[in-house]
Amino acid sequence: MIDKETNLQDLKDTIEISGGGKRVDLLLKNARVINTFSGDIHKTHVAVHKGKIVGFGVYTAKQTIDLKGAYLSPGFIDGHVHIESSMVKIPEFARVVLPHGTTSAVIDPHEIANVLGLDGIKYMLASSLNSVLGVYVMLPSCVPATKLETAGAELTAHDLALLLNDERVLGIGEMMNYPGVIFRDEEVLKKIAIAKNMIIDGHAPMLKDKQLYAYISAGIRSDHECTDVAEAREKLRAGMYIMIREGTAAKNLKGLLPLVNSENSRKFVFVTDDRHLEDIFCQGHIDYLVRTAIQLGVEPIRAIQMATINTAEYFGIKNLGAIVPGYKADMVVFDDLKKLKISKVFKDGRLVASNGLIDQRAISEYQGKTRGTVNVRWIEHEDFALKAEGKYAKVINIIPNQIVTKVSVEPVKQDGGYVSSDTEKDILKIAVIERHMASGRVALALVKGFGLKKGAIASSVSHDSHNIVVIGTHDGDMYTAAVQVVKMQGGIVAALNGQVLEALPLPVAGLMSDRSAEFVREKQKRLNEIAKMLGSKIDDPFMAMSFLTLPPIPEIRITDRGLIDAVAFKITPLFVKKHGKS
């Protein structure tokens, strides 16, 4: 009864304050409000009280800020992000993205869940509980992503159901196991069934025709894996929300924007998925997607809707994504619609960032710990020796700025009956070392497109099971890099001539640092510089390498179980009898 009376009084107070009967906490004067509902811009004052917008126009206020005609937009929402890919904990991530106008994020803690299971999800929920960044969670649907790899945990429908009642949990995250949906795998369907009326995100690259319809009919309503207009158009016509992704490895913004028009724009959502700190520091976060979209011809209000109200409405997040009475006072201020340089960021009515600088009082540290997660059998030099079982082998070919791959059949370079890296043809050895169960499994294959001429690179970040992945020109350097990853209990390494050139420790599940974002950024920059010195032809080879172990993405992958045909969804032989024949 007390709660009902309290709520009733709060309601009375809200109505009185909105009606101008009492002083509000904050009045933002002379704002050009970008209204994501009416689709226009109107100049007015905006009143804020107890973290919510209460009205427009003249109000008496405890504090007044004159915006002098600057634009006022709803705070941006990242509709799909794996914060673990930033390699910092949530408080540090918030400190980096808030000055860029991202006030909320829908996270999928898929990466840490593949390492730590439910404990990983609980860690992310706990570490974001008092964060100034609004954090909502989609529960990982595929842990492990497939049965073609070894993860640190397995989550069943029963496990996920234990967390569905958390008010910040919005539904079930990207359903990568689209064959499991289409062919009615019982455990997959159980995970869909527990969502009931909640949101289910999709992940179905290149799926089309009746298989796509079967997938959507299960209640899956979005996709962030479209790479071209034709694919996105088919999914849009079938009723899906299209998440336009611009991450570090996968960049789909320019390829998909031509599909957006005045009739369909409300079905598009901006997401980053996996974006490294260097890109955020140098280019931005969701603000970068909005800015780029506008520069490429998307009408500004439409672009801002794709970063705000579209996302909130898709996920059913009430009172977010617009500047109207009753909505959260999450707002960003900027002077120019095209440059979109953010000068102020408000979260729940509080000024938390100004001119690119965060108010440190807004950031709360999280002291929770995770257990050690790098458990491997003793690594030997011989683990990287690949016996030549034929003259030709399948090779993983990377595609710049995409996470899809292609397969080719190439003649192998041999030395004493063993395969060696062929730097002249840019065909390098790649290894995946199981790091959860100390099983001793090491898979070896060949990859093309990295350009290394010497040395090796290694990482415990390898989607989605996050075993240790190593690429190198020399077995000894691959050994050195892998051993250093184990010694650090997770991290990223570059090695040459038996020496570690640089290393970034990632002790939180082998995925995240316990240091500052600036520390991680500088280490990442140094690692990429060294990789370039070793011959790398791509800007971020560590990010590109991390996706080569992801079986749900066509065309060919590698896990600790072996080389994976990601179209047929099965382990495939590395060597072939003759060129062009398997």
- 3-class secondary-structure state, position 36: coil
pLDDT of residue 578 exceeding 80, the answer is no
Q: What is the pLDDT of residue 581?
A: 45
List of domains in the chain = 74-321 (3.20.20.140), 381-576 (no CATH)
pLDDT of residue 536 exceeding 80, the answer is yes
- Judged on CB neighbours under 10 Å (0-12, 13-18, 19+), 520 is buried
Nearest CA-CA partner of 527 in 515, 516, 512, 538: 538
- Judged on CB neighbours under 10 Å (0-12, 13-18, 19+), 371 is exposed
pLDDT of residue 582 exceeding 50, the answer is no
CB atoms within 10 A of CB 61: 18
Which tens digits make up the pLDDT trace of 55-83? 999 999 999 999 999 999 999 999 999 99
Distances (CA, A) of 57 to 40, 72, 328, 346: 17, 14, 18, 19
Q: Which two tokens stand for residue 434?
A: 């199981």
CA–CA distance, 425 with 278 (Å, rounded to integer): 30
Is residue 89 within 8 Å of residue 514, measured between CB atoms? yes
Q: What is the pLDDT of residue 179?
A: 87
CA–CA distance, 32 with 39 (Å, rounded to integer): 13
Identify the helix (H) or strand (E) that includes residue 186: helix 186-195
- 3-class secondary-structure state, position 442: strand
- 3-class secondary-structure state, position 447: strand
CA–CA distance, 311 with 308 (Å, rounded to integer): 6
Dihedral (CA of 12, 17, 21, 22) sign: positive
Which tens digits make up the pLDDT trace of 392-428? 999 999 998 788 899 999 999 999 999 999 999 999 9
Q: What sections of 238-285 are H helices per DSSP?
A: 253-256, 277-282
- 3-class secondary-structure state, position 5: helix
CB atoms within 10 A of CB 156: 12
Identify the helix (H) or strand (E) that includes residue 309: helix 309-315
Sequential DSSP letters for 154-181: ---HHHHHTTTTSTTEEEEEEE--HHHH
Whole-number percent of the chain with pLDDT over 90? 88
Q: What is the pLDDT of residue 403?
A: 85
Label residue 539 by pLDDT band (50, 70, 90): confident
Label residue 3 by pLDDT band (50, 70, 90): low
The residue that leads in pLDDT, 5 or 460, is 460
Q: What is the pLDDT of residue 402?
A: 83
Q: Which two tokens stand for residue 341?
A: 């340089």
User: To the nearest whole number, what is the mean pLDDT of the chain?
Assistant: 95
What radius of gyration do the chain's Cα atoms show?
A: 25
* Average pLDDT of the residues in 254-258: 97
pTM: 0.92
Which tens digits make up the pLDDT trace of 474-514? 999 999 999 999 999 999 999 999 999 999 999 999 999 99
Which conformational region is residue 462 in: left (phi greater than 0), alpha (psi within -120 to 50 degrees), or beta?
A: beta
Diameter of the chain measured on Cα atoms: 88
> Omega before 325 cis (within 30°)?
no
Is residue 274 within 8 Å of residue 553, measured between CB atoms? no
Q: What is the pLDDT of residue 359?
A: 82
Nearest CA-CA partner of 21 in 51, 63, 49, 52: 49
Q: What is the pLDDT of residue 173?
A: 96
Q: What is the pLDDT of residue 243?
A: 98
Q: What is the pLDDT of residue 146?
A: 84
Sequential DSSP letters for 103-118: EEEEE-THHHHHHHTH
Is residue 141 within 8 Å of residue 163, measured between CB atoms? no
Label residue 579 by pLDDT band (50, 70, 90): low
Q: What is the pLDDT of residue 504?
A: 98
- Report residue 566: phi and psi, to 5°: -80, 0
Q: What sections of 53-117 are H helices per DSSP?
A: 90-97, 110-116
Beta-bridged to residue 458, according to DSSP, are: 470, 493
Q: What sections of 462-516 are H helices per DSSP?
A: 475-487
Q: What is the pLDDT of residue 186?
A: 95
* Average pLDDT of the residues in 104-123: 97
Q: What is the pLDDT of residue 6?
A: 62
- 3-class secondary-structure state, position 233: helix
CA–CA distance, 500 with 511 (Å, rounded to integer): 19
The residue that leads in pLDDT, 278 or 506, is 506
Which tens digits make up the pLDDT trace of 303-331? 999 999 999 999 999 999 999 999 999 99
Q: What is the pLDDT of residue 51?
A: 96
Which tens digits make up the pLDDT trace of 359-396? 887 777 888 889 999 999 999 999 999 999 999 999 99
Q: What is the pLDDT of residue 580?
A: 53
Identify the helix (H) or strand (E) that includes residue 576: strand 575-576
